[in-house]
A and B are shown apart, each in its own frame.
Chain A
């Protein structure tokens, strides 16, 4: 009833407004540079979803959307420049797609009263909305990813990891180091031996690391890699004949790009994900009808259904739903970034809503609150089939170990709050 009244209010307001501006969803894309292979599908998916909303629904709440792109080339300085240059255009929410850019933008977006969504990346403890008022990282973060990987190992080993060896191969950067504390805590809890093997950027040469893994003979290897590091690591794992079904990548190490170059050897490789795979969803029928067939697809139009394209679609869907929520809360279709933030903080994604959107079973259910900006920490496992060249979801969306993760989040975010004299945003 409440929702219907809100919708009616928005509709009445729209009818009363003779002309309205567009809802701006800036895209900090990276279509060039060493990481372009991952940046292109995300940017295409993000843009295609809004193109579809415009063509099918007339935008969001009757207001057309626009997606201005700014090329960051995955470079932190350029990313900040992009934010600054697009800020004047009324961008409702920014998705920086880079942990480095995220760290730079956290104080800026907070001061500018603009929300930022860092799904599956960025500062994990930003989940604590009491401290990070303008940063959201639903539905899952790096620590959830590590915990779900360990849960999968527990399933594989009959619930007991004691005496097992788990090695983390990671990109030697702030991003790659994120899961170390979580895995250290989980190793104490479950009694497995945990080792770390860093790989320096860009990661084109990893002989030392994989010789070390060959000598250590771990039972499982978890990878937090990026770009060329992923492809080389998977190839090296194939070379040393490491069993692929014991090799688990985080979602940034789990796209077609990462496994294709290793050919048949990559068969069975696994990755954690916070969204489903493939193109077998009713939403894709609408994308075909309103976007692809109309020649409106972003980029070359050849990324449809890939893992990272789906991530772009998912990222766009989340902010579009948050925008609808903001319109409903504030009774206006023409929302501001500040109102958008409120919408994000009240977002609830249910399976019913996902089905309504044409994406049944595509992502986990979650509810955002003032205190919890990161959702409920659900993620699933995917596995690569080298013969069909497809990823398959091989588990349900399962919740990470909240007992371990929540305490780490509290500890890290409270330290940040003390360091920066931040008051409780929710009190």
Chain B
């Protein structure tokens, strides 16, 4: 196989994998927007908060230790135990459900019926508040994230040797595919299937869809708006945790993790704000598009580092021809 073609295929495959990671972040936005019409600016910070909580629980860190020590003059930092990854994930999910309840109870319950821009601004406030709480609760230092099923069996990272060797034997060039990206793709597939099945086949899922279609009609048939919104924010919290784990495994858990939201915006613009498959397809298109552009045009002719702006340009292009995104609901206003 010609070298250039092999490189292009490798870049294409890695673009797909990167797209899955973008889609993981975008999914959280879609869930909340679809059910409540709120564009959740805090989704990136939720991923940060979830990942920090997970590492904190795993390491047996005392939450709010700095605050406690400052107020009471104590010197407590750790409980002295470590928690198994799966238990820590379960406990983090409980924390995220608690967060969903608090957000609903103290913020959005008081904003029912307000303009979309007011709700959006509330999520901006929520993002900064949550970032501050995360800082107070777990500290600002960078934390390594290892999610392990057993001693030594952790989230895999690095070159997949089997793919490298097989493609080398077949094409004369070994493709690089990151093990973590493969895991992320499998997890994303399970997540999407799970979410779709939940929405289609469970009572709560159907209620969620009813609220998404028409709040007032859903209310009139006895669906609790409060419950559904807590449910939706909990699901978004769970998705944020998954995204936080995948991105945090790469870079460690640190405050810049919240910036992954920037990667989700072009995906949403392209895939639509209301479609779960749209988030996935949008992620894949953005991932492949930006990587191929960087490889074929950006690096050789434009000096490189084109991915960030190219993703937005691509999304803008789609917006011009299809404002609701590829899979978004068509906006029809009757006069």
Contact = CB atoms under 8 A, between A and B. Distances in A.
A241 B14 contact: no
A208 B142 contact: no
8 smallest beta-carbon distances between A and B, as pairs: A261-B252, A34-B256, A36-B140, A198-B305, A228-B256, A37-B142, A239-B158, A208-B294
Contacts of B251: 204, 228, 231-232, 235, 261
Contacts of A257: 141-142, 252, 254
Contacts of B254: 34, 36-37, 227-228, 231, 257
Nearest to B66: A300
Contact of B157 (A35, A227, A239, A260): A239
B41 to A, nearest CB: 16
B247 interface: yes
B147 to A, nearest CB: 13
Contact of B178 (A32, A239, A263): A239
B305 A172 contact: yes
A212 interface: yes
Contacts of B18: 205, 207
B197 interface: no
Contacts of B7: 211, 215
A231 B159 contact: no
Given A34-B256, A36-B255, A199-B305, A204 B144 contact: no
B256 A202 contact: yes
A203 to B, nearest CB: 9
Nearest to B161: A241
A22 interface: no
Contacts of B299: 197, 208, 212
Contacts, number: 123
Interface in A201-254: 202, 204-205, 207-209, 211-212, 214-215, 227-228, 231-232, 235, 238-241
B250 interface: yes
A402 B159 CA distance: 41
Interface in B1-46: 7, 10-11, 14-15, 17-18, 21
Interface in A1-59: 31-37, 40
Contacts of A34: 254-256, 258-259
27 contacts: A34-B255, A34-B259, A36-B135, A37-B141, A40-B140, A40-B141, A172-B305, A196-B303, A199-B305, A200-B308, A204-B251, A207-B17, A207-B18, A208-B295, A208-B307, A209-B304, A214-B176, A227-B254, A232-B251, A241-B158, A241-B159, A257-B252, A257-B254, A260-B142, A260-B252, A300-B66, A302-B77
B242 interface: no
B158 A204 contact: no
B14 A238 contact: no
Interface residues of B, number: 47
B56 interface: no
Given A208-B14, A241-B159, 9 more contacts: A32-B255, A34-B256, A204-B257, A204-B259, A207-B14, A207-B178, A227-B254, A228-B254, A239-B158
B119 interface: no
A32 B66 CA distance: 14
Interface of A: 31-37, 40, 172, 196-200, 202, 204-205, 207-209, 211-212, 214-215, 227-228, 231-232, 235, 238-241, 257, 260-261, 263, 265, 300, 302
Interface in B292-307: 294-295, 298-299, 303-305, 307
Tell me which of A197, A207, A241, A300 has the highest count of chain B C-beta atoms within 10 A of its own C-beta: A207
A302 B75 CA distance: 11
Contacts of A241: 158-159
B13 to A, nearest CB: 10
A238 B257 CA distance: 20
A414 B278 CA distance: 55
Interface string B273-295: 00000000000000000110011
B88 interface: no
Nearest to B252: A261
B48 to A, nearest CB: 10
Given A32-B140, A208-B291, A261-B145, A197 B304 contact: yes
Contacts of A36: 135, 140-141, 254-255
A232 B247 CA distance: 10
Contact of B255 (A33, A231, A240, A302): A33
Nearest to A38: B142
B172 to A, nearest CB: 14
A204 B263 contact: yes
A204 B145 CA distance: 15
A256 B98 CA distance: 34
B305 A205 contact: no
A207 B259 CA distance: 17
Contacts of A196: 303-304
A199 to B, nearest CB: 6
B305 A200 contact: yes
Contacts of B308: 200
B128 to A, nearest CB: 10
A411 B261 CA distance: 42
A36 B140 CA distance: 6
Given A31-B140, A261-B144, A211 B11 contact: yes
Contacts of B140: 31-32, 36-37, 40
B139 interface: yes
A252 to B, nearest CB: 14
Contacts of A212: 295, 299
A140 B157 CA distance: 37
Contacts of A240: 159, 176
B260 interface: yes
A232 B249 CA distance: 10
A100 B140 CA distance: 22
Interface in B239-270: 247, 250-252, 254-260, 263
Contacts of B10: 211
Tell me which of B157, B247, B252 has the highest count of chain A C-beta atoms within 10 A of its own C-beta: B252
Contacts of B298: 208
Nearest to B259: A202
